[in-house]
Structure formats: C-alpha cells, structure tokens
Amino acid sequence: MKVNIKSWTAVAAWRWDMPEDDVCGICRSPYDSTCSKCKYPGDECPLLWGECNHCFHAHCIFVWIRAETSHGRCPMCRQEWKIVAKVSQD
C-alpha cells in the first residue's frame, strides 16, 4: 500500500514537468495564465487536474461539465472527468 502511494506521488510530480507551452484545452490560454474570463492568476482561477491526466482552468472545466453535451466527460479524451488535484497559482 505504501509503495502504491509513493509511486502515485512520483507520477503526479512528473506530470508537472510537462512542457511550459502547454495550454488549457478549452480556452487555449497557458496554464500559468488565467482563463479567458479572469484577469489575475491566483486562488480565484485555480487549475484542476483530472484522473485522465488532462488539466484545465477550474472555470473552463466547470462550464464544460455543466453543459449537457459534455456527459461529465473530459473534453480532450472523453474519459469520465474526475478531479485528482486542484492547483492554485501564486
């Protein structure tokens, strides 16, 4: 059990070493910027990381998930959207 948790943490950390030019798949703004509706990065506009290894601004994915056409799935890979991490930017 401990080994599983350790490897999970390692994978999660590795995921954050993705290329810096990565952009939110919904609004196409960079992860280190805000979504298209916010002016300032920070707690107001956190990033949500999904179990499928896709990441979006919280505001972007909330709007998407609320839409009936989303069926509760990730807009990039169509897997069921499950949040595994919330990341606030300073």
Where on the chain is the footprint of Zn ion (CB under 5 A)?
Answer: 24, 26-27, 35, 38, 45, 52, 54, 57, 59-60, 74, 76-77
Distances (CA, A) of 67 to 15, 62, 71: 28, 9, 8
Q: How far is the CB of 41 from Zn ion (least distance, A)?
A: 9
83 DSSP β-pair partners: 50
Return the structure tokens found at 50. 């999904």
**Burial (Cβ within 10 Å: 0-12, 13-18, ≥19) of residue 82:** exposed
Q: How far is the CB of 75 from Zn ion (least distance, A)?
A: 8
Residue number with CB closer to Zn ion (27 or 84): 27
Residue number with CB closer to Zn ion (2 or 28): 28
Residue number with CB closer to Zn ion (10 or 83): 83
